[in-house]
Amino acid sequence: MFRRWITLCCLVLTLLSAAAAQLTRPERTNDEETSRYEDVIAFLDSLPPNPSVLKFGWLGYSPAGRRLPMAVYGDVPDIRPETVRRSGKLVVYVQGNIHAGEVEGKEAMLELLRELARGGHAEWRRRLIVIIVPIFNADGNENISLFNRPYQYGPVAGMGQRANGQGLDLNRDHTKLESPEVRAFVSLLDRYDPHIVVDLHTTNGSFHGYHITYSHALHPALDGPLDAFQRTSFFPAVHKRMTARKWRVHRYGDYLERTPAGKPGYFYWAHEPRYNSNYVGLRNRIAVLSEAYSYVTFRTRIDATKALVEAVLDEANANSRAIRAAVAAADERAVQLPTTDSLAVRGEIVESSPAESLLLAPVREVCNPYSGQTMYLMKEESLRTVVTAEFYGTRALRSAAVPEGYLIPDSLRAVADLVRDHGIRIDTVQQRRTVTAGRFLITADRLSEREFQKHRMRTVEGRYETVTLDVPAGTLFVPLDQPLSRLAMQLLEPESEDGVVAWNVMDRYRGNGSVYSIVTIIPKR
């Protein structure tokens, strides 16, 4: 009798601990704490096994060697890249926690994975495969402090840090690829080729009156029709799905009394390819930047982030054919890029609409009971509307003629490695030949005063001259008749704000300082 009683107690305890494990750490702590790396792994391990639709693997490693868990949801027999690509389904990739103080994406994705494991959202399996990486910046996540992001309204028991384990901002690393996390992400793009990439954040100092905001890719060198598709079709549809669920949602930005244009407006500042969303756009894919509002409760941010991901997936599922067609057509146009005259290599954000309704709300100050620090909370009762200019347009500050491709001396190993790491095809010149080439003469060359991401970024200016060159066998050639041509130009053009010159990759190869050693093949027009 006694033994049976003990057995029964053990069984109840096991069931209770399994049920507890199926709660996220915020759910177990009244939203006071965020999940640690070990909590994420334990939570994923505790999900009811449903291997026919939900499988697990690893994206890669953090600098400290933590494996980055990855879940794949959909009707595929295994999660090999070729299996996923050949499924013919629309592939959506979602990542949380790239900035590890911005933790609701991680929590929202754990909650979503629990629903998927229990059979929820079965309709998505008809047309989608969803890849979820909940804790992208695993090392930063573990550096918990009650004093990180002090004004953010919780979690009050602290959150991780912005940078990864190398002290790098992962959302500035998408062209130079110095972090193992972003290298793993780019490798995933090359292997799984997702049509849509969703990157989950929390606002970082902007003020407005919304629960959550979003942005698409911004860059003047984006494929025009795909840019129009995301601006006029995909995002308005996602927006509508959010407002139907009563979320206050808008594009991401900050209301400024004085924008760089010198007047008030709602402004978003980031167009460079180093950012996840712009990088994905330059690869002819649809990017979703999600920014939950720092000054609403942690629970509201988790729920709003989960709702935005669901709205994206619902829209992707409803319109998978149109999305696939838009992306495929952009790839085809990219292959034809050498028939275009020029492409932007430096840009800026400009006004896109002179008068839009924008919700604003003041914040009240609330004391964090544990740290004693001031946090901000939106005053929901004081929402007001202003009509103001919005800045979502882009404009080229400098453009370059589009060549047939770039010739890279085979001694420039680091350049060739970086280009290959992005998945860009490189051919090798088999026989010595004479070509008409564009050679860039540098007339101005400066390093930034301030260090940024452990670099002093380089800016050069100059002009191309036409020369006849003898090209030895073994020279590397990056042809632009390939889908990643837009990205290749951003990496290799000397005046690019995010390429091998800007990020000092070329510094070690500086011979004759006035001539850029990568030359272009001029197209015959």
Binding site for Zn ion (CB under 5 A): 99, 102, 201
Identity of residue 350: V
Least CB distance to Zn ion at residue 461 (A) = 32
Phi/psi for 299 (5° steps) reads -65, -45
Least CB distance to Zn ion at residue 192 (A) = 23
Least CB distance to Zn ion at residue 334 (A) = 28
Q: Which residue lies nearer to Zn ion by CB, 31 or 102?
A: 102
Cα–Cα distance list, 456 to 34, 74, 147, 449 (Å): 35, 44, 29, 7
Q: Which residue lies nearer to Zn ion by CB, 99 or 176?
A: 99
Q: Which two tokens stand for residue 501?
A: 């010159």
Distance separating alpha carbons of residues 68 and 56, to the nearest angstrom: 11
Sign of the CA dihedral 503, 509, 515, 517?
negative
Q: Which two tokens stand for residue 148?
A: 């990180």
Q: Which residue lies nearer to Zn ion by CB, 69 or 101?
A: 101
Q: Which residue lies nearer to Zn ion by CB, 172 or 239?
A: 172
Residue nearest Zn ion (C-beta atom): 201
Q: Which residue lies nearer to Zn ion by CB, 199 or 315?
A: 199
Distance separating alpha carbons of residues 434 and 407, to the nearest angstrom: 12
Among 286, 192, 291, residue whose Cα is nearest residue 235 = 286
Q: Which residue lies nearer to Zn ion by CB, 101 or 438?
A: 101
Starting at the earlier edge strand, list the strands of the sheet with 212-215: 54-61, 67-73, 128-133, 90-95, 196-202, 286-292, 212-215, 249-251
Q: Which residue lies nearer to Zn ion by CB, 102 or 181?
A: 102
Residue 122, C-beta contacts closer than 8 angstroms, at least 6 positions apart: none
DSSP letters for 465-499? EEEEEEE-TT-EEEESSSTTHHHHHHHH-TT-TTS
User: Whats the size of the chain, residue-wise?
Assistant: 525
